[in-house]
């Protein structure tokens, strides 16, 4: 089951070739204590200031310490953020806005996958609550700072799994029926629709301050601990690890969307392997995107026009 060097290169996929530096720029990456988030932070720490926003502070500090030692950049900072609790999201945003005057790149990377049925602190189904609603609220709270710092970018880590998703407005929190694989797919479709609607709302509004873009991406099938909630998937991941991307390879498209100069004015797009990728018909449904936006605001008790 070991692929040839040529096959391995195919599995590895696209690489970000940009050498863009980000002196004086500030990046937030959610869930950057492990997997592709950590590798994204490692790359961007060679370019500028990185804030690692994580629920597990001990793991995050260990990751930050390793990245600081490797890159020589002391501006790798850990902040507490639990996307399954809107109180924690608001506290994170409040502290960040008090301490940092600029924010140039927000990478909504953190995610949960294949969780047994559970709810967030606010009663949202865990996949939809963390993967979509948590990042929706975080982006809303940080939007003004991003606008003031433009040119700025929002990067949403979605997945090829969005093809299997649908937005079930009649049962958004899976109380009537629940399948953990599908719940993940639904939340990843929500990421694509959020990106699409956000880009539409931002386009042309802040040209005087510079470009302000929002794009989504599929990192690839990555050998990481994201499948930890499923014993079968963990076992399969181990067996077929040669056919999966390493976390470094999986981070390439996130880094590309964050720094590539050719994406300065590209917005509302979906990428895979550092190039534009096909979006499912449901991911291109503007009516669903608008309705999801409205329902998300209602659930979070915010007004975002």
The residue with tokens 């709270």 is 141
pLDDT of residue 114: 87
CA distance 49 to 44: 8
pLDDT above 90 coverage of the chain, percent: 80
Quick check: 150 pLDDT over 70? yes
The more confidently predicted of residues 4 and 47 is 47
pLDDT of residue 261: 95
Quick check: 2 pLDDT over 70? no
Quick check: 127 pLDDT over 60? yes
CA triplet 287, 188, 163: central angle to 5 degrees?
Answer: 75
Per-residue CA distances from 222 to 63, 212, 298 (Å)? 19, 29, 34
Quick check: 86 pLDDT over 80? yes
Query: How many CB atoms neighbour CB 261 within 10 A?
Result: 8
Residue 154's H or E segment, with its range, is strand 152-157
**pLDDT, mean of residues 285-301:** 98
Quick check: 167 pLDDT over 50? yes
For the chain, give every domain's residue range.
22-300
**pLDDT, mean of residues 284-293:** 98
pLDDT of residue 243: 53
Structural contact between residues 289 and 197, judged by C-beta atoms closer than 8 angstroms: yes
Average pLDDT of every residue of the chain: 90
152-157 and 105-108 strand pairing: parallel
The more confidently predicted of residues 58 and 8 is 58
- At 45-64, the pLDDT tens digits run 999 999 999 999 999 999 99
CATH class assigned to 22-300: alpha beta
Provide the phi-psi class of 254: left if phi over 0, else alpha when psi is between -120 and 50, else beta.
Answer: alpha
Quick check: 187 pLDDT over 90? yes
CA triplet 166, 168, 169: central angle to 5 degrees?
Answer: 135
pTM score: 0.91
SS3 28: strand
- Name 240's bridge partners: none
- At 220-272, the pLDDT tens digits run 765 445 545 445 545 444 544 445 768 888 999 999 999 999 999 999 999 99
Residues involved in catalysis: 184
User: Hey, what are 217's tokens?
Assistant: 């991406």
CA distance 68 to 74: 5
SS3 153: strand
């Amino acid at each position: 089951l070991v692929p040839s060097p040529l096959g391995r290169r195919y599995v590895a996929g696209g690489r970000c070739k940009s050498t863009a530096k980000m002196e004086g720029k500030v990046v937030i990456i959610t869930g950057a204590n492990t997997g592709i988030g950590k590798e994204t932070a490692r790359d961007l720490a060679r370019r500028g200031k990185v804030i690692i926003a994580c629920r597990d502070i001990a793991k995050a500090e260990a990751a930050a310490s390793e990245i600081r030692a490797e890159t020589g950049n002391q501006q790798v900072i850990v902040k507490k953020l639990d996307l399954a609790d809107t109180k924690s999201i608001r506290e994170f945003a409040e502290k960040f806005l008090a301490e940092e005057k600029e924010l140039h790149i927000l990478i909504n990377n953190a995610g949960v996958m294949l969780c047994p049925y559970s709810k967030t602190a606010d009663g949202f189904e865990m996949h939809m609550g963390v993967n979509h609603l948590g990042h929706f609220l975080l982006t809303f709270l940080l939007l003004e700072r991003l606008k003031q710092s433009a040119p700025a970018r929002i990067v949403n880590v979605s997945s090829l799994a969005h093809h299997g998703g649908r937005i079930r407005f009649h049962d958004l929190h899976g109380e009537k029926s629940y399948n953990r694989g599908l719940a993940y797919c639904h939340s990843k479709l929500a990421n694509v629709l959020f990106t699409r609607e956000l880009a539409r709302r931002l386009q042309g509004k802040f040209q005087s301050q510079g470009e302000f873009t929002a794009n989504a991406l599929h990192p690839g099938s990555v050998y990481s601990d994201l499948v930890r909630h499923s014993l079968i998937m963990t076992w399969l991941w181990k067996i077929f690890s040669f056919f999966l991307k390493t976390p470094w390879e999986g981070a390439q498209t996130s880094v590309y969307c964050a720094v590539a100069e050719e994406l300065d004015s590209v917005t509302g797009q979906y990428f895979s392997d550092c190039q534009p990728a096909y979006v499912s018909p449901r991911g291109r449904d503007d009516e669903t995107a608008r309705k999801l936006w409205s329902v998300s605001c209602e659930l979070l008790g915010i007004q975002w026009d």
